[in-house]
A and B are shown apart, each in its own frame.
Chain A
Amino acid sequence: MTEPRTLDQLSPGQKATVKKVGGQGAVRRRLMDMGVVNGVEIELIKAAPLGDPLEFRLRGYHLSLRKNEAQQIEIN
């Protein structure tokens, strides 16, 4: 088995399904509250001009995450 793929590894325009939301505490809670839960489809739109954070689209809205936050989300 290779390392599980995480959300920060998507390239712009690519979609994936969330498999597991890692991390803990406030960050994890906030991610789930914003609809980043198992099975949701999520698309990377682009990175910020300086490379970080990243902009995603899910459930019809746009969400921005830092790379280290996106790293905690496993995808299929």
Chain B
Amino acid sequence: MAAEPLTVALAGNPNVGKSTIFNALTGSYQQVGNWPGKTVEKKEGWVSIDGQRVAIVDLPGTYSLAAYSVEEIIARDFILNERPGIVVAVVDAANLERNLYLVCQILELGLPVIVALNMSDTARSRGVEIDVQKLSQQLNGTAVIETVGNRGIGIDTLKAAITRAQTARRQPSVLDYGDVIEAEIDQLQARIEADPVLAHQYRARWLAVKLLETDDDLRAHLEQMGHQPLVKSADEAIARVTASLGDDPETLITDRRYQFIGQAVGAAVTRPSQMAETPSDRADRIITHRLWGVPIFLLLMWIVFQFTANVSAPFVDWVDGVVTGPIAQWAAALLGAVGVSDTWLESLLLDGVIAGVGGVLVFVPVLLFLYLGIGLLEDSGYMARAAFVMDRVMRVIGLHGKSFLPLLIGFGCTVPAVYATRTLENERDRRVTGFLATFMSCGARLPVYVVFGAAFFGAQAGNLIFGLYLLGIGVALVTGLVMKRALYRSAPPQPFVMELPPYRMPDARTVGRQMWERTRGFVQRAFTVILGCSVAIWLLLAVPRSLNPGEFNTVEPQDSLFGSISGALAPVFAPAGFGTWEATGSLVTGGIAKEVIISTMNQVYALDAEEDASASETPTTFVEDMGSVAQSFGQAVILTGQEIVNIVPRTVNIIPGINLPEADFLGAGEASEDTSALNTMLTRAFTPLAAVAFTVFILLYVPCMAATAAMRHEFGSRWMLYQLGYTAVIAWVAAVVVYQGGLLLGIGGA
């Protein structure tokens, strides 16, 4: 008996500390994935209670079990179809009424429920006293346990209650909806019970109530199963109730639930007659103040941006250095030991596989810092305020206030921007935001603008760069407006209706867990795509155009398949002024990662005569390598500290007339690539006008493969293909307009 597995579902409103209860119950025995076919996170964990193995499933945070949001459908379907043995409903003790509404709905489903009265310490400090015994009585004897999840208080009692609830007599809670509605419920219930399949699948009374509540999801489902007559009689019942009571049953049923809750709370809770203003309320008066609200918002967004773009940079460099340095060398040594040095296999493993692995791993620090920022914003309660402050602006392009952050992060890197869209509840907003984020010029595109700007415009390079950033924003705006008008015109309005939760101290464990789990999710999923692309490009560069096996992997780029494909594609870009195989080839590799555009150009414009310095380095021992890996890690830690410190001068320096120096802990200064030789080659290969058209194309064309992988992961293959197609077309059109327009105006031509 004790060995029988038990599933416990954890339900509750958002922001009630559900994840702290989940973490306290399951410890480190948990696994994070997605609900099948959905982008909503599914957390599952295990705990052993008195020798019995118990699976804990964390349902998405919802306010209701109506089926209007993805989260609600997931939570409801899980409870209905998987029939967990027990549902633990986590409620915020300081905010009982709204929280009990969900509990009420779960009770109506007829499963054993335990109420975890969380954060009761906070409630008590505000003078709210809850009589647990009375509350339990009011809820028809449902067990009520006081917990403080983030301090592990009440968890043992909760575990004991889980054991007890299995054997306890189940009393389905029956809410009396009044004579008129009850009569209709009885009739519908009888019809449902007459159908053995339906009666097996649903609790008849629950289904009857739901039908009277006009639950669209269930109605559609029933009609699909051929129960049109049942739906039709429900419609008649709705009409009868409305005629006799003057209000529709949906409203009356909801009113009744809140009435029931009002009674329960009235009997069990004593509140001070005058609720004192909480510290959270005081903080909010400043944080969302009429005048300070917007500057504070911009400042916080800027800090998160700095974290993902600059603070992570030393670790990105470190990961890159370790993968291309010691790891590549060790791999080379290992391959030498098994006798395959200087073969195509070595080249495949070093230039294809290891380079691809590095291409994934460099995103790890970026994502960790992104999730740190997002975790702090979400867990502190600020994220809802960000939406509150920004909603008016984002609505212009049909988006939600929360869309601002992903777009801003897009200026650092598109990959974390795509993942940042998870903070949006609405799937449509998420997709559009992710779509637009690619037009925010990411950090990897900047070096291209810098090189071209310096080569063609000298001191005026800044204008080109600034203009490109503005163009990206402009294209995003127009795209957003078009999508709002054309694609989503007929969609029903989405509710903004959003809770502004009280501010609280972020829970380190919850934030840390999220950073780790979400970053791991990217690595797992991006590996295949990025590795595949990396190997494919290697192959294209290795296979000679002549297909002569003797030249495999020794062929020059222009004579490889890569060269011929680039050459074949080149005429497409002739109207934009850069129809050469070299330019096209660097665009192709740029589709893998934007940061390699310049290095590809270095290669194809035949500048690689001077061999890479790293190749001629003196051999090092394993111990020395490990030492240098550790040392460079230490440097990365110091530089990260430096970047955090530098957020201050960088922020203050935005104000004109102030120029604080930035910290430079290691005295290294800014490293810069030597590109003077490339500059000369570029001025020969491009006209100034073609150079502008080329940078415009770089700004707008397909996102890199890592971003593409992230988009496929988040939005699905079809949406990813739309995105690739749209960006390719818009980039080409824009580049051609720039070039041809320039020619017409007689500027910068040949």
Contacts and interface: CB of A to CB of B under 8 A. Distances in A.
A45 to B, nearest CB: 8
Which of B98, B392, B495: most chain A Cβ within 10 A?
Answer: B495
A30 B391 contact: no
B68 A26 contact: yes
A39 to B, nearest CB: 8
Contact of B288 (A25, A27, A40, A49): A49
Interface string A32-63: 11110111100000111111110100011111
A69 interface: yes
A38 B288 CA distance: 29
A5 interface: no
A62 B500 contact: yes
A51 B68 contact: no
Contacts of B291: 49
Contact of A30 (B95, B294, B495): B495
Nearest to A36: B497
A54 to B, nearest CB: 9
B64 interface: yes
B391 A53 contact: yes
B391 A48 contact: yes
B130 to A, nearest CB: 12
A35 B96 CA distance: 11
Nearest to A56: B500
B241 to A, nearest CB: 16
Interface string B107-142: 000000000000000000000000000000000000
Contact of A66 (B64, B250, B496): B496
Nearest to A53: B391
Interface string A3-45: 0000000000000000001000111011111110111100000
Given A25-B492, A26-B68, A34-B98, A49 B497 contact: no
B251 interface: yes
B391 A52 contact: yes
A71 interface: no
A26 B289 CA distance: 30
A64 to B, nearest CB: 5
Contact of B393 (A30, A39, A50): A50
A35 B98 contact: yes
Contact of A69 (B250, B384, B387, B497): B497
A46 B95 CA distance: 20
B493 A60 contact: no
Interface in B490-511: 492-502
Contacts of B419: none
Nearest to B285: A46
A53 B496 contact: yes
A40 B257 CA distance: 13
Nearest to B213: A29
B255 A63 contact: no
Nearest to B295: A49
A34 B251 contact: no
Given A30-B68, A49-B291, A37 B258 contact: yes
A49 B289 contact: yes
B496 A69 contact: yes
A47 B500 CA distance: 13
Nearest to B98: A35
Nearest to B214: A29
B94 interface: yes
Given A29-B68, A40-B258, A66-B496, A35 B101 contact: yes
A10 to B, nearest CB: 17
B571 interface: no
A52 B255 CA distance: 28
Contacts of A40: 258
A52 B68 CA distance: 24
Contacts of A47: 290
A50 to B, nearest CB: 4
B392 A37 contact: no
A50 B392 contact: yes
A64 B95 contact: no
A55 to B, nearest CB: 6
Contacts of B391: 48, 52-53, 66
B97 A48 contact: no
B64 A33 contact: yes
Interface in B278-309: 284, 288-291, 293-294
Contact of A48 (B98, B254, B293, B492): B293
Nearest to B497: A30
A34 B387 CA distance: 18
Given A26-B494, A40-B258, A63-B499, A50 B389 contact: yes
B94 to A, nearest CB: 7
Nearest to B63: A33
B254 A64 contact: no
Nearest to B297: A49
A38 B499 CA distance: 19
Contacts of A52: 391-392
B213 to A, nearest CB: 9
B573 interface: no
B499 A37 contact: no
Contacts of A69: 495-497
Interface in B151-179: none
Contacts of B389: 48-50
A33 B255 CA distance: 10
A55 B388 contact: yes
B94 A49 contact: no
B496 to A, nearest CB: 5
B428 to A, nearest CB: 12
- 4 residue pairs, one from A and one from B, having the closest CB atoms: A49-B293, A33-B64, A50-B392, A62-B500
Given A35-B97, A37-B254, A50-B294, 10 more contacts: A27-B497, A30-B64, A33-B63, A35-B98, A35-B258, A40-B258, A46-B288, A49-B291, A50-B393, A63-B498
19 contacts: A30-B66, A30-B497, A31-B495, A31-B497, A33-B101, A35-B98, A37-B255, A38-B255, A39-B255, A47-B290, A48-B388, A48-B391, A49-B289, A53-B388, A53-B391, A60-B97, A60-B275, A64-B384, A64-B500
